[in-house]
Amino acid sequence: MKKPDRQRQSFYSGIVSAVIFFGAGLLCGCGNTDRQESREFIAMGTYITLTACGSSAGEGLAAAEEKITALEKLWSVNDENSEIYKANRSGGEAVHLHKETAGLLRSALETAEKTGGAFDPTVYPLVEAWGFNSHEYRIPEDDEIKRLLENVGYRKIKLEGETLRLPAGVRIDLGAVGKGYAGDAAAALLKKAGINSALLNIGGNVQAVGRKPDGNKWIIGIRNPFDKGGLAGIIEAENTAVITSGGYERCFTGSDGRTYHHIIDPETGRPAESGLASVTVIAESGEYADSLSTALFVMGQEKAAAYWRNLGTAEPAKETDAGEKPFDMIIITNSGELFITEGVSGNFTPADDYTGSLTVLEK
């Protein structure tokens, strides 16, 4: 590991952080011949802003919005017509899933296996018990947590082809991966419509399609978890997903004065206390980056670094020989230290006013 000198160039003039601001006019700066269009809407419990440049921008964005809302209908834990809602109340009966739901669940199960259960879609009963679904926050009793944990464990999920069987009491939630998948699907539709320059912000999950129309990479802000509205740094990106899991947004202060956030450690049934404030994963696939950002947050810095060393690569995104997908990450610990992987170090610039130390993780 090495500690580099901070790059002190000021990148901030004229830059828009996709994570924080939605100044679409500044985002694209399409040329005279190109049309730039944006769509802002609420879906999947979050604000979504899609911006695309190109003559078919309107058509591509309409298809992308339609797709995201269709996926929400399939996967919402609250919509009684959704597949997940029905599966969660199936009482052990077989449920037939749409092929996209089955595909996403299968890949979520693979991530659960690879991350040693740090990512686990069956953690939902605990998410509910803490009030993160209803926003009626509470601290469950130890006995309640113990009882609910009996129904947690991704191996309880039986998925054969498109047939799902959940034992009574086991409930699932694709909230840690659905927005990432939606970003991939939206990006694919935009590309299909002939768009090769777009920036998609799905509640802070950012998907960069191509480069900016001027040929430069997109610039995406990484939130400073300790300063609402502030940045820890910026990253330059093209054709990639930049996805953050943090404990600073969906959280509440309990009657004991402590802060509790929505990322649950499946082992304890409590908000993960891994020493991290946020984990940003940079990978070609939004779905992969989304699931990993949640899992690595649960793991903590050391285990996350070991996971990256085992599976990641600093090479451009491609399948490695081991069949694993490479990724990079930016970790911010509760004490403000920044850890970034070597593959992203050339594209990351810490904010001028960010005072935490910066360490580059090497293989």
Give me the residues that bind ligand FAD (CB under 6 A), please.
Answer: 44-46, 72, 75-76, 78, 119-121, 123, 127, 132, 173-176, 178-179, 203, 205, 245, 250, 262-264, 266, 290, 293-294, 298
| 70 contact partners, CB below 8 Å, separation of at least 6 | none
293 binds Mg ion (CB under 5 A): yes
Residues paired with residue 251 on neighbouring β-strands, in sequence order: 261
250 binds, among Mg ion, ligand FAD, none (CB under 5 to 8 A by kind): ligand FAD
Q: What are the distances in angstroms from CA 143 to CA 13, 53, 148, 149, 273?
A: 53, 54, 9, 10, 20
Between residues 308 and 354, which has the closer beta carbon with respect to Mg ion? 308
Binds Mg ion by CB under 5 A, chosen from 27, 126, 166, 176: 176
**Shortest-Cβ-distance residue relative to Mg ion:** 294
278 binds Mg ion (CB under 5 A): no
Interaction between residue 294 and Mg ion (CB under 5 A): yes
Closest contact distance (angstroms) between CB of 10 and Mg ion is 31
Least Å distance between CB 68 and ligand FAD?
Answer: 9
How far from 268 is each of 15, 120, 126, 293, CA to CA, in Å?
Answer: 41, 12, 10, 19
Spatial distance between the Cα atoms of 177 and 19, rounded to a whole number of angstroms: 18
Q: Which does 39 bind (CB under 5 to 8 A by kind): Mg ion, ligand FAD, none?
A: none
Angle 158-162-165 from CA coordinates, rounded to 5°: 30
CA–CA distance, 202 with 180 (Å, rounded to integer): 8
Instruction: Note whether 290 binds Mg ion by CB under 5 A.
Output: yes
Nearer to Mg ion, 294 or 333 (CB): 294
By three-state DSSP, how is residue 108 classified?
helix
Closest CA to 220 of 247, 201, 194: 201
> Nearest-CA neighbor of 330 among 243, 267, 258, 241?
243
Could you say which of Mg ion, ligand FAD, none residue 344 binds, taking C-beta under 5 to 8 angstroms by partner kind? none
Interface stretch with Mg ion, choices 48-56, 196-204, 241-249, 308-316 (CB under 5 A): 241-249
Q: Which residues bind Mg ion (CB under 5 A)?
A: 176, 245, 290, 293-294
